[in-house]
Amino acid sequence: MLVNLLRPKTTVSAHCDLPCGVYDPAQARIEAESVKAIIEKYNANEDPAFRTRAIGIKEQRSQLVKEHLWVLWTDYFKPPHFEKYPQLHTLFNEATKLAGAGGTKGGMDVAVADKLLEKIAQIDKIFWETKQG
C-alpha cells in the first residue's frame, strides 16, 4: 500500500534538460577561436612567463571546447538527428579529440586549431538545420 502511495501519478518526458534555446555550438566555437588566438600569440612571443601563462589558459579553453561539445552531443542531439546525420558521431568524436590532449590542449599547432574550428563549423551547420525542422 505504501508503494502505491509513493508511486508517481504522472509520467513526464522532455527531449532536453532545459529549453533548446540554451544549446548553441557558438559556445564551443568562441572557445576554439580563443585557443587559436592564444596559440598564435604564444608562437609570436619569446617571453617564458607569457608562454607559461598562455599554455595554461589554452589548456583551460580547450577543455571548455570539449565540455561544450559534449553537452551538445549528449544532451541536445537525439536519435532522430543521428539517423538523419549519420556523420554526427564521427564529427563530435573528431572535434573533441582535436580539442584534447592529442590536439589543442596538448599542442601549439595553429593548423590543429583550424581543423577544430572546421569540425565545429560542420556541427554548427547541422545544429541549425535541426532547429529549422
Task: Give residue limits of the domains in the chain.
Answer: 24-132
What is the separation of C-alpha 24 from the centre of its chain, rounded to a whole number of angstroms?
A: 9
Specify the fold of 24-132.
Answer: Four Helix Bundle (Hemerythrin (Met), subunit A) (1.20.120)
Specify the pLDDT at position 15. Answer: 45
pTM surpassing 0.95?
A: no
Specify the pLDDT at position 22. Answer: 77
> Which residues of the chain, if any, have pLDDT below 70?
1-21, 133
Contacts of 76 (CB under 8 A, 6+ apart): 16, 20, 23, 127
Specify the pLDDT at position 9. Answer: 66
DSSP code, position 8: -
CB-CB neighbours of 100 under 10 Å? 16
Specify the pLDDT at position 46. Answer: 97
Residue whose C-alpha cell is 584534447:
100
Specify the pLDDT at position 85. Answer: 98
Specify the pLDDT at position 34. Answer: 98
